[in-house]
A and B are shown apart, each in its own frame.
Chain A
């Protein structure tokens, strides 16, 4: 399993909570696409001829690409990589870009999975988050996407927003379920450092996030989704069986991926590298056919740490047999010693030689993972 991630760093406006690399101007879009096509060529050996099973356009707002630009990039990928016949190609989108015309044209491309940034069906929440679209637009976009023939759709929702009462949150979940869509990413609102939201809350201009409320919302979410036949396959992701995001799963099971575009991360099992988070520097690089990134080589302990950290978050759990095969039995013994107190506290369960977080344990995934770390 290998995947390619493409970072499209343009937005109409910055959402207050977002700390991804993006720019609220499309002035350099054409030059960016050139640079991206160049990087595809430069990095064509990164995956060492592994077949590419997933392609993911993230951002930023990839739906700001024209159909021509999308096709040009996809064509370029085919030129330099071996792409599987059943490749999953996801495009992240903003509801107000998804006009019937755009959707119809998009349907003609290879894109076969559409991710829609709904976030909430309440306009006051969208205002708090500084989203560019309205709830009405979101509903229209979903309906149009289905009409256009996109069967594999996913939504983003955010919970823990100060004005989002438990009732409103239940109602957001219900709206999602009513659309009959098979995948949901639901994120607890997180105040990242150096974001507008953190600044505004710090100044007292916006109300802060209430931890207890987030916990309640998380519990409501798990309960409702499980009731409706969804698998909680990662901390923030739910899907009907067979509709898991194949691309994101690569991140969690230690698969290899190539990241293209500014700030994108790549990983080949042993080393990780990430591109410069600066659009003009990224564009300038196309002339000398190089790309600039920082790189880290992971020690065996760090590889183990990453495996524990990501696998514990998933429905597949942390596979002790995998640890034994890849890292050695000493790592298994260590892991079992460290995890014992969490098993006693019923935060972790061990089944079939795998460790899984219980629903309570999911609230403490980071602390538990860090306790199992080696150093």
Chain B
């Protein structure tokens, strides 16, 4: 056990985490240059393309020091706010962390929130200043930020360049010398933390664990404490580039278990594995059941693809237990699924994976957060869809989720950021100057307010400088109303939303204006109305198309005209019928693009 080091890397997107991971693998001869595809740890195409790690993985390396072999387990962490719980579980499996900061950009919001998680778990932090070879690096200035943040001596910071390999040897030595070996009693009852799982089409769900206490052998009869399911360990082993089976593993080790698990929901990240015969009395602290916070309808463009969409989502769920779904139907969109996501990025990823991996053409409706509706009978109903709201006569009040949002930015954008957050019903909780020109602002605000154009606005008003992180804080009573959109008097269920009363009028008006732009003229006038209950609060009209005929149709016109009309036909086919009105798909997401 004294020869094991378990660590993770904390970094902001694009600060070089994956490149550094690759270098560590290369320097420890875990993989040769030939095996090395860029960024080995990001195995999904999508991850590689976006340059971000969506799901965490783990890999073991061997490091030789003065003739002695040490085992380094690198536990990779997902790099986005939506996955902060997964990050916390990966951190809990480690004794140390590399804090990677881009010398050209400095500390970002996400770095800080993950750093706090690491410090809460008493991890040894090794600060690494990456990209020092870049022309626009500001090593001294960023070192100031790090010293300020960690209170560490300046000489503890390692200057490196993952791209060139500079400083990587120093980092490896620091992992050995500064990160403590795991503690734990191999003879104690088994206590292993599940920090991730993956789906393999031949072997089922494979769970990744870190043994905190005790010893684990192949064939053991084990129990997953939270799910109360029991299994026999068909295979256990360590994670090198491939899975390498082992007979026995003990406290401090990181590995995988295969036990014929069929559904991803049976493996909960953060759960504890123990022996059935000699169970531990302590679960690994910090376990939570992650609940999706953002919901949206996903519908097939072609109604015939409904069953195919279902099987595609089911397959995605095997790999991603945080995705939940249930069938729903919409007057406008037909049959589809209400899906729950951890956050907006998660939603985008699912949409893209459906498109790329399953070739599914889908319409995604306006997302909404999860609400708690309390009835006059004092019952609580979780509402994932505006149409699921209890009838107004039984509704007592509604609660909506609140977040703590941390924003780090150059101080010159502070005013604009505050204005934005206050517009979004935010309440300022704290502001701290990290250095003379970098400020950390903390707001409490409703989650629903960041769903619509918050990131984009934040990025544009700060010229891309502001970074943003959040975590769910709790629930608060909200003055919400249901805003409906009507086309020629028919309510379009897929466009209904729950919205704060103060924003309803502005939103309704903007919504009508946007739809007027997006709905093409048809052979009759189309009234677009926004309504709260029976009260119409905004109206626009799409004027009827009175003439749709080209004057000339001779030899030289026919081909061009046919192609144009074929394109129109294609567009019309993708439209959805609401009453007698044909609505293009773009209209269903109009709300996300309001100014």
Contact = CB atoms under 8 A, between A and B. Distances in A.
Please determine whether chains A and B interact with each other in the same assembly: yes
A363 B570 CA distance: 21
B565 interface: yes
B556 A274 contact: yes
Nearest to B522: A367
A251 B554 contact: yes
Contacts of B552: 187, 190, 236
Interface in B536-551: 545-551
Contact of B553 (A214, A235, A371): A235
A352 to B, nearest CB: 24
Contacts of A369: 565
Given A215-B546, A306-B558, A375-B573, A188 B566 contact: no
Given A305-B562, A306-B562, A370-B565, A362 B549 contact: yes
A232 interface: no
Interface in B569-594: 569-570, 572-573
B562 A309 contact: yes
A370 B582 CA distance: 15
A215 B549 CA distance: 11
Interface stretch (A107-115, A133-141, A261-269, A323-331): A261-269
B551 A363 contact: no
B555 A259 contact: yes
Given A211-B546, A363-B547, A375-B570, A309 B558 contact: yes
A214 B562 contact: no
B523 interface: yes
Contact of A267 (B545, B555, B569): B555
B430 interface: no
A364 B545 CA distance: 9
B548 A265 contact: no
A272 B559 contact: yes
A131 to B, nearest CB: 17
Contact of B555 (A234, A265, A370): A265
A363 B549 CA distance: 6
A373 B566 contact: yes
Contacts, number: 103
A118 to B, nearest CB: 16
A5 B555 contact: yes
A303 B486 CA distance: 40
A345 B524 CA distance: 12
B260 to A, nearest CB: 48
A190 B547 CA distance: 12
B361 to A, nearest CB: 15
Given A259-B556, A267-B555, A363-B548, A302 B569 contact: no
B206 to A, nearest CB: 45
Given A236-B552, A370-B565, A370-B572, A214 B547 contact: yes
State which size class the interface on B falls in.
20 to 34
B281 interface: no
Interface in B103-139: none
Interface in A116-156: none
| Residue in A234, A251, A345 with the greatest tally of chain B CB atoms within 10 Å | A251
A345 B544 CA distance: 15
B568 interface: yes
A375 B549 CA distance: 21
Contacts of A20: 556
A33 interface: no
A370 B568 CA distance: 7
Given A259-B556, A274-B556, A373-B569, A366 B562 contact: no
Contacts of B553: 234-236, 251-252, 309-310, 313
Contacts of B561: 309, 366
Contacts of B547: 188, 211, 214-215, 218, 363-364
Contact of A363 (B546, B554, B558, B568): B546
Given A309-B561, A309-B565, A366 B555 contact: no
A265 B565 contact: no
Interface string A286-324: 000000000010000010011001100100000000000
Interface string A327-359: 000000000000000000100000000000000
| Residue in B546, B550, B562 with the greatest tally of chain A CB atoms within 10 Å | B562
Main secondary structure on B side of the interface with A:
loop
A190 B566 CA distance: 21
A375 B545 CA distance: 24
A236 B550 CA distance: 9
A257 interface: yes
A212 interface: yes
A365 interface: yes
Given A215-B546, A373-B569, A375-B573, A367 B555 contact: no
Given A190-B551, A365-B548, A265 B558 contact: yes
A198 interface: no
Given A375-B569, A375-B573, A302 B549 contact: no
B585 to A, nearest CB: 17
B204 to A, nearest CB: 43
Contacts of A234: 553
A71 interface: no
Interface in B219-261: none
Contacts of B548: 363-367
A235 B549 contact: yes
Contact of B562 (A190, A266, A302): A302
A248 interface: yes
A235 B559 contact: no
A305 B565 contact: yes
Contact of A371 (B556, B559, B562, B569): B569
A212 B555 CA distance: 29
B501 to A, nearest CB: 41
B568 to A, nearest CB: 5
A218 B559 CA distance: 25
Nearest to A252: B553
B504 to A, nearest CB: 36
Nearest to A294: B559
A264 B551 CA distance: 19
Nearest to A189: B551
A251 B555 CA distance: 6
A187 B551 contact: yes
A221 to B, nearest CB: 12
A371 B555 contact: no
Contacts of A266: 555
Contacts of B566: 302, 305, 370, 373, 375
B526 to A, nearest CB: 15
Contact of A190 (B550, B554, B569): B550
Contacts of A248: 554
B565 A296 contact: no
Given A302-B562, A367-B545, A264 B556 contact: yes
Nearest to B567: A370
Given A305-B566, A369-B565, A265 B546 contact: no
A251 B556 CA distance: 9
A370 B569 contact: yes
A251 B550 contact: no
| Residue in B547, B549, B568, B569 with the greatest tally of chain A CB atoms within 10 Å | B549
A372 to B, nearest CB: 9
A57 B281 CA distance: 98
B565 A235 contact: no
Contacts of A215: 546-547
B555 A257 contact: yes
11 contacts: A187-B552, A215-B546, A251-B553, A251-B555, A274-B556, A363-B549, A367-B523, A369-B565, A370-B568, A373-B565, A375-B570
Given A364-B548, A365-B549, 10 more contacts: A189-B551, A234-B553, A252-B553, A265-B555, A305-B562, A306-B562, A362-B549, A363-B549, A364-B523, A373-B566
The 9 closest A-B pairs by CB, nearest first: A370-B565, A187-B551, A365-B549, A367-B548, A373-B569, A370-B568, A265-B555, A188-B551, A370-B569
Interface of B: 523, 545-556, 558-559, 561-562, 565-566, 568-570, 572-573
